[in-house]
A = this chain, B = another copy of it.
Amino acid sequence: MTATIRDIAKAAGVSVATVSKVLNDYSTVSRATREKVLALVSEMQFRPNEAARSLVGRRSMTIGILLTSGLANPFFVHLLGGIDEALKERGYDLIYLAQLSAHPEYNFVHHCRSRNVEGVLAFGFQLGELDADKLVASGIPTLFIDLNLTGKRAGYISSDNKEAVQGTVRYLHELGHRRIACIAGLPGSYVGERRLAGYHEAMAELGLSPDPDCIVIGDFTQETGYRGMQRLLALPERPTAVVCGSDKAAIGALQAAREAGVAVPAELSIVGFDDIDEARVVYPPLTTVRQDMSTLGRRAVELLDGLIVEPDSPAPAVIVPTALAVRGTTGPPPRDG
């Protein structure tokens, strides 16, 4: 089978304790033995068994990932790139805890414990979700992505959603737009709420009091973007611009506009959020807020590592800046608008 620490000890003519010390960088071992052991380790391709290690209370070098939406979340994939890099740098492996959330007895926290996870990346939780609080209360180091929860050993990271939308509205205002509508994302989701808040604040700042009819509530999907746009187009006084809570919604809006024979951007400007791959290939290419998903993922792991390694570190609350990618769906409002 695979080599154990005992095999190495035997081959090196030392005790297992010594090998263990070498493996864990104890300074109390002589240069000579250290080198002999290390040579054997490399030669015999030895790698300590992580289960045994974590059992004796040492670090498991395992981070758990909790995704309430399941693995198929499209953003998770983009996050993964950044997560992956940071994981490698710090030597962690990532375990996806396939939750039986449906099962009444299922418990996140115990699942984490049974896996000796050192910390948890949590993504996809909604505002006020109970399980999120339990996680915080458990004391397991937790880093939320896109949910502003903090605690003794919990913190979060997110894009600057509010500021992003404020910037978007200001940009539209500068182009000359005054009737600016909003197709908001899912209520109850942190990012949806923040984006909507950004819309409200920017409108207020600019002295534009939005018509309540100009704000439609969606859920980030193309479907609600499509229907939302239909509603807006049916208004007696049509908006000249619409900011959407997601690219998917913006794509739905674009589709509705096309079907209604409304020219984009000549008669109507549309802005999305996320900069997913589809944003570049629709026609016209979508003006949208680009989130730096890779940085989000990478920093999430780094922050979590901090929480793990420094038990008394303060709760991180990190906001990552975004950038507006101006493409083809925005322009000045029509003359008679």
A interface residue numbers (CB < 8 A to B): 2, 42, 45-52, 54-55, 60, 62, 70-74, 76-78, 80-81, 83-84, 87-88, 92-100, 105, 107, 110-111, 113-116, 251, 276-278, 281-283
Contacts and interface: CB of A to CB of B under 8 A. Distances in A.
B98 A95 contact: no
A77 B60 CA distance: 26
Given A81-B71, A116-B51, A278-B278, A96 B93 contact: yes
Contacts of A87: 96, 98
Nearest to A78: B72
A94 B95 contact: yes
A52 B50 contact: no
How many copies of this chain does the complex contain? 2
B81 A70 contact: yes
B95 A88 contact: no
Contact of A281 (B49, B80, B278): B278
Given A45-B110, A49-B116, A77-B77, 13 more contacts: A45-B107, A48-B114, A55-B55, A70-B81, A71-B81, A74-B277, A76-B80, A87-B96, A88-B98, A95-B95, A96-B96, A281-B281, A281-B282
A218 to B, nearest CB: 17
Contacts of A51: 50-52, 54-55, 60, 115-116
A216 B88 CA distance: 37
A122 to B, nearest CB: 16
Contacts of A55: 49, 51-52, 55
Contacts of A276: 277
Contacts of A283: 282-283
A110 B2 contact: yes
A84 to B, nearest CB: 4
B278 A47 contact: no
Contacts of A77: 71-74, 76-77, 80
A298 B251 CA distance: 30
Contact of A114 (B49, B76, B98): B49
Nearest to A62: B95
A94 B93 contact: no
Contacts of A278: 277-278, 281
A114 B47 contact: yes
A275 to B, nearest CB: 13
Given A77-B76, A84-B72, A278-B278, A97 B105 contact: no
A330 to B, nearest CB: 18
Contact of A83 (B71, B94, B105, B251): B71
B93 A97 contact: yes
Contacts of A80: 71-72, 76-77
